[in-house]
């Protein structure tokens, strides 16, 4: 027999090597595919964790805002009611301003109106309503409304010289500005 027709004794080894190579490259493909799927799954998990953290933070922000809104609502719920009571205080103060305090017959009335006014102011103060009486203080446009400006050599310019109507605050928020007269330097 010639060498060309002679059976190859190395053929089974080469076939096994080829099969091992094919099997190895098939396993590598599976491993690569699994690694890609794992990376994709890890990315989705990270994305979901990030989304969960964002939702949790947003939920906490909503809860905090709701709590603040409720606190503000409680704090300023009386705003309209308190504003509607201010003319009553003004009228009691006007009555005290016009009544003749020297008249013996009216002393009981004066004392009654004074006690009523004091009791009323004490009661509204319990709920955060405070009076602004800026007599002699520097003019503050955030709390005072200038009704007149008068030249004065006796007081510094921009000083409240008289109060036409007292102002009021509710828990630090202006309910009504004080109506005042303000000084200016003489001409």
Backbone angles phi, psi at 177, to 5 degrees: -75, 155
Q: Dihedral, CA atoms, 106, 113, 143, 182, nearest 10 degrees?
A: 0
**73-82, 131-140, 144-153: range with lowest mean pLDDT:** 73-82
* Parent domain of 82: 78-184
| pLDDT attached to residue 23 | 67
Domain membership flag for residue 22: yes
What residue has token string 């509710």? 170
Domain boundary (77, 108, 128) is at 77
| pLDDT attached to residue 129 | 93
Domain membership flag for residue 35: yes
Backbone angles phi, psi at 78, to 5 degrees: -85, 5
> Is residue 136 located within the same domain as residue 101?
yes
> Is residue 119 located within the same domain as residue 42?
no
| pLDDT attached to residue 75 | 78
Render pLDDT for 82-106 as a digit per residue (tens, 0 to 9).
999 999 999 999 999 898 888 888 8
Check pLDDT > 90 for residue 18. no
> Is residue 26 located within the same domain as residue 86?
no
C-alpha radius of gyration, the chain, whole number: 44
* Number of structural domains found in the chain: 2
pTM, two decimal places: 0.62
């Amino acid at each position: 027999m010639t060498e060309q027709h002679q059976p190859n004794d190395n053929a089974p080894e080469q076939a096994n090597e080829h099969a091992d190579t094919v099997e190895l490259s098939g396993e590598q493909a599976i491993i690569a595919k699994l690694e890609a799927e794992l990376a994709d799954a890890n990315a989705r998990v990270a994305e979901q964790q990030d989304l969960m953290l964002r939702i949790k933070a947003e939920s906490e922000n909503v809860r905090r805002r709701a709590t603040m809104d409720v606190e503000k609502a409680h704090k300023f719920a009386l705003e309209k009611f308190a504003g509607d009571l201010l003319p009553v205080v003004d009228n009691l103060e006007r009555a005290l301003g016009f009544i003749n305090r020297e008249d013996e017959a009216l002393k009981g009335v004066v004392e009654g109106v004074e006690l009523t006014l004091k009791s009323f102011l004490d009661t509204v103060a319990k709920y955060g309503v405070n009076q602004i009486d800026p007599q002699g203080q520097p003019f503050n446009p955030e709390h005072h409304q200038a009704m007149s400006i008068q030249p004065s050599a006796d007081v510094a310019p921009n000083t409240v010289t008289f109060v036409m109507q007292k102002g009021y605050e509710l828990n630090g928020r202006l309910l009504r500005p004080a109506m005042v007269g303000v000084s200016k330097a003489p001409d």
